[in-house]
Amino acid sequence: MRLPGWSIGLAVPVALLVIWQAFAAAGLVPAAILPSPSLVIATLAAMAASGEMASAVGATASRMAWGFVIGTSVATVLGGLCGASATIRALIDPLIQSLRSVPSLAWVPLFILWLGIFEASKITLVAVGVFFPVYLNLVSGIATVDRKLLEVGRVHGFSPLRRLLRIQLPAALPSYVVGLRGGLGLGWMFVAAGELLGASNGLGFVLDDGEQTGRPERVLAALLLFGLCGKLTDSILAAGSKFLVSWQDIAKA
């Protein structure tokens, strides 16, 4: 009998949990360093019962959503322009490529100076993290469209704008979807960085609180919630984007 794909994906996490619990029960690792899974689960249950989990996840998800929408929107516009026009790409792309190498934490002091310590700086940090993968994949997808497809468009009298909308953008959609998923993953990393350096709520705040108060179970609980939120949003994005590339004739394992 063939098992569902999602059940196969649970095999490694469950095995790691069993090993982790066995190490904790045998006392091979001090609880102050690596608490048992049962203690982490109890911490999650207590956070859920008190409402802290819903509040923390809601605050982080809100920042993530706004940053993802803004970063994706800007990246789509600039990526479309740079991918379609070699002149615009020559003007803008070198600056974007240089900014891409700036570490995420290096942006935080600047955004705090410009935007303050409240939501705007954190949302902007997430938008920056989301921007680069989406932009790079879209530019690459548009710029590397099969030349023969473009020649067909020219033969049929397509204007440059029509070639972009009817040929280049559709052909670039697989790369664009990959960029969206990469940007989503980086967005979760950037929102964690922003909250760790200054927030009064959110999962990053829970991480920092656990570290400051010497409660590793809260740190691990927050990390687990980050992982679950990231996986859930990635699955939703992957499922929702299938219709964009439904025309692809790909081999299935």
With tokens 């025309």, the residue in question is: 247
The pLDDT of residue 160 is 72
> Counting Cβ atoms within 10 Å, is residue 92 exposed (0-12), middle (13-18) or buried (19+)?
middle
Listed range (21-25, 70-74, 133-137) with the worst mean pLDDT: 21-25
Listed range (47-56, 129-138, 141-150, 172-181) with the worst mean pLDDT: 141-150
Compute the CA torsion angle 90, 105, 112, 68 (nearest 10 deg): 60
The pLDDT of residue 247 is 61
Residue pair 125/190 in contact (Cβ under 8 Å)? The answer is yes
pLDDT digits (tens, 9 = 90+) for 9-59: 777 888 888 888 888 777 777 777 888 888 899 999 999 999 999 999 999
Mean pLDDT of the chain: 85
- Predicted TM-score (pTM) of the model is 0.86
Six-digit token string for 185 = 């993953």
* Higher local confidence (pLDDT), 24 or 65: 65
H-helix or E-strand spanning residue 3: none
Whether residue 166 is predicted with pLDDT greater than 80 in this model: the reply is no
The pLDDT of residue 228 is 93
Backbone angles phi, psi at 7, to 5 degrees: -70, -35
Residue pair 203/222 in contact (Cβ under 8 Å)? The answer is yes
The pLDDT of residue 45 is 95
As a whole number, mean pLDDT of residues 178-200 equals 89
The pLDDT of residue 5 is 58
* Higher local confidence (pLDDT), 98 or 169: 98
Please give the domain boundaries of the chain with CATH numbers for all domains. Answer: 36-243 (1.10.3720.10)
With tokens 């207590």, the residue in question is: 46
As a whole number, mean pLDDT of residues 65-71 equals 96
